[in-house]
Amino acid sequence: MTRIIRRLTALCALSLAALLSAAPAHAQAATSTASPFSGGHHPFEFGVIAQGGIGTNDRSDYKFFMVGGQAGKVLASDIGPGILRGNFEYGIQIFPLWQSYTPSFDRRTCDANDVCSAPYKTGGTYTGFSITPILLRWNFTGSGHRRTVPWVQGGGGMIWTNHKYPAVGGAPFNGFTNGTAANTSVWNFTPQFGGGLHYFIKPRRSLDFGASAIHISSASLGDKNPGVNASVQFSVGYTWWK
């Protein structure tokens, strides 16, 4: 977890330093109240994002780190009363680098006759990619602070990993998995929800911060579906608005 926090902190600090040095102080002051939602505009957004976190409960020793990009389109003008006023946005996220760090342990594979292999290591680091093609987001534009725009979202996607995730089994003489095909899957699904905020450093540039609860499940594509009931993940990104 320390490594993940260091990576996210370093990325956030480098992004902020670069952006502040690129924008003169008087320019920042002049644009502090602007946002891409002004005047009923329905902008596109394109951004880069880094995300990491941990599992919960029986997966509390699982850790996650990923880097990728996101895109979205505001579909309608602001509606609603007071601080609930906002707009609806459809988005996607893609993480070409997705990693999960899990405990390693010994496992045996047994056939239908209970003839078992010698113990071998499983678990450890899993690498893959993730795509979330459905992100439904509500941007709260009625807060009165145009520089800061909170949001909430829900969505769903999938992950492919280079090994079947997560590992199942147990110590050499416990938790045998019977059947040559008994295993999990390289494909898992990721229903999720979360919230965060856009912090606009320019009218069409924002730093983005978020927190999400993400469920990971193979939907029984494999013979077993231990999954990750809930992971808590935090993100930092930089977005261009068009």
Q: How far is CA 161 from the centre of its chain?
A: 15
pLDDT in tens, 49-77: 999 999 999 999 999 999 999 999 999 99
CB of 179 closer than 8 Å to CB of 223? yes
- Tokens of residue 146, six digits: 């145009």
Asked if the 2-241 domain carries CATH number 2.40.160.20, the reply is yes
What is the separation of C-alpha 58 from the centre of its chain, rounded to a whole number of angstroms? Answer: 20
Q: Choose among 25, 52, 11: nearest CA to 207.
A: 11
What are the structure tokens assigned to 224, written together?
């077993």
Beta strands at 109-110 and 177-178: parallel, antiparallel or unpaired = parallel
Output Rg (C-alpha) for the chain, integer angstroms: 21
CA separation for the pair 122, 231 (Å, rounded): 21
Each residue of 23-56: pLDDT tens digit? 444 334 434 456 788 777 899 999 999 999 999 9
* Tokens encoding 43: 């902008």
pLDDT of amino acid 10: 54
Q: In this structure, what token pair is assigned to residue 153?
A: 């979202």
How far is it, in rounded angstroms, from Cα 24 to Cα 40? 28
| Per-residue pLDDT in tens (0 to 9) along the chain, 242 residues | 445 445 544 544 444 444 444 444 433 443 445 678 877 789 999 999 999 999 999 999 999 999 999 999 999 999 999 989 999 999 999 999 999 999 988 777 776 677 777 888 888 999 999 999 999 999 999 876 678 999 999 999 999 999 999 987 644 434 444 444 457 899 999 999 999 999 999 989 999 999 999 999 999 888 778 899 999 999 999 999 99
